[in-house]
Amino acid sequence: MSYETVVGLEVHSELKTNTKIFCGCPTTFGGEQNTHVCPVCLGLPGVLPVINEKVVEFAIKAGLALNCKINKFSKFDRKNYYYPDLPKNFQTSQFDLPIAEHGYLDIEVNGQTKRIRITRIHMEEDAGKLVHSGTTINDSSSACVDYNRTGVPLIEIVSEPDLSGPEEARAYMEKIKSILEYIDVSHCKMEEGNLRADVNVSLRKTGTTKLGTKAEMKNLNSFKMIESALAYEIERQTEILDDGGHIVQETRTWDEAKGMTVSMRTKEEANDYRYLPEPDLVPIITSDEQIEAIRAALPELPDARKKRLMAECGLSEYDAAIITTTRQMAEYFDAATAQKADAKLVANWMMGDLAKNLNGEGKSIEESPVTAQRLAELVDLISKGTISSKIAKTVFEEMWKTGDAPEKIVKEKGLVQITDTKEIEGIVDSVIAANPKPVEDYKAGNAKSIGFLVGQIMKQSKGKANPAMVNDLLKAKLD
């Protein structure tokens, strides 16, 4: 039997406000346990929440960047459930009037653009963290609670079930991450858990439209995890359906060590959250002026930026997509090309040697020892013919080590390209004289021999001879 996979994502992103959503405690990751807490986030008796206005602003920003309609009348609700990491035993969240609704996001998979609808974006508070006495929850006899994370602001971005598999899910998640980084509302550090997804997946017979029974996989916090868990889950559900079985609606968790999803609870065991309007907070009323002011302050988003780089800088779609993956990369590119450096060369260097070195040392582009300014200078030296591309690689390595200006390195190491015809001619002559056999071979019709001769010439010039001139002069002498 052939099936279609239907996937929807609920992406949780911690917002990078300085303070928590309902109190003045810092949101900084880490910190000694239970030091970023106060009576409000600890839910002590009698305390009241006060909304951090920055959270609302960031949520609206995200809503606009994801093409949503902003609800001018929005409110908070309490989601009631008992769990020891939740000090009030309810989470202040949004139920029927979220801050943003009806958005979309375009993703690209295999050169095809696909529009994924976004149902809603709502604001809520994060819970604390259980610190188990053992290594896993199963071999622990007790647990302690660290409330540092309690009350860190979150937005939850809920998609429609428009995704058709692991690849699209990954592309969607990457795009969400990219946009949230662009608009600067989240650190998006998946390894710190500040960007994570609950993934809903179901199968249906190919060609049918009725949704199948879904399973939800909670708290997947890496792209790879999303792909692996989905792949596993699709296989599991396919097997059940092929055997004539039924999928049980349930929440599952991804066991990284075993490489499989494991059931957490079935629908019957699921919580009835008994939502009620949060009586301690007043509704959030947003004016058109506020929304438009936030819209006006939005930075250029990845799609628009990509189009601009293609149109203005002549980059290929592929290159433009890579350069605009993160806001930091795009800004680096813009900074470099603002120096009038050749855009295509800048892009090549960014995707080539720069990317290689960054990955090698696990650095982000902001930490690059070679600044955009310096890379632009290097590209200029190449464009002007001062150095060859090959020499440029050596110069780049030196720049990476020292952070020095390329011109300085070229001067100090005597790497300036030889463009003097006489000088090159001299070397060409001496190489021809020293290598009669290859010269004969070439003349006998073995075109490949010329490569060897060019190599010898470059070697003798310590790589500095202008390769085009070498080629021309050599051919002129031999032909």
**Smaller CB distance to other proteins: residue 41 or 225?**
41
**Smaller CB distance to other proteins: residue 48 or 262?**
48
- Residue in the block written with tokens 């998006």: 188
Taking a C-beta distance cutoff of 8 angstroms, is the pair 248, 266 a contact?
A: yes
Scanning 350-435, the segments in alpha helix (DSSP H) are: 355-361, 372-383, 389-402, 406-412, 421-434
Nearest CA-CA partner of 2 in 169, 203, 184, 170: 203
What's the distance, CA 125 to chain centroid? 24
3-state secondary structure 252-292: EEEECCCCEEEEEEEHHHCCCCCCEECCCCCCEECCHHHHH
Q: What's the min distance (Å) between Cβ of 32 and other proteins? A: 17
Q: What's the min distance (Å) between Cβ of 19 and other proteins? A: 14
- Residue in the block written with tokens 């021809």: 432
Rounded to the nearest 5°, which phi and psi values hold at 66? -100, 25
Q: What's the min distance (Å) between Cβ of 129 and other proteins? A: 14
Q: What's the min distance (Å) between Cβ of 59 and other proteins? A: 17
**Smaller CB distance to other proteins: residue 141 or 359?**
141
Q: What's the min distance (Å) between Cβ of 136 and other proteins? A: 16
Spatial neighbors of 205 by CB under 8 A, at least 6 apart, are 1, 2, 3, 4
* Residue 23 to residue 42: CA distance in whole angstroms: 10
Q: What's the min distance (Å) between Cβ of 56 and other proteins? A: 13
* Six-digit token string for 270: 């699921």
Q: What's the min distance (Å) between Cβ of 27 and other proteins? A: 20
Interaction site with other proteins (CB under 8 A): 39, 42-51, 78, 80, 82, 84, 87-90, 143, 145, 147, 272, 274-276, 279-282
Nearest CA-CA partner of 40 in 54, 29, 25, 19: 25
**Smaller CB distance to other proteins: residue 233 or 250?**
250
Taking a C-beta distance cutoff of 8 angstroms, is the pair 153, 14 a contact?
A: yes
**Smaller CB distance to other proteins: residue 255 or 280?**
280
Q: What's the min distance (Å) between Cβ of 51 and other proteins? A: 7
**Smaller CB distance to other proteins: residue 143 or 321?**
143
**Smaller CB distance to other proteins: residue 39 or 403?**
39
Taking a C-beta distance cutoff of 8 angstroms, is the pair 165, 206 a contact?
A: no
**Smaller CB distance to other proteins: residue 281 or 310?**
281
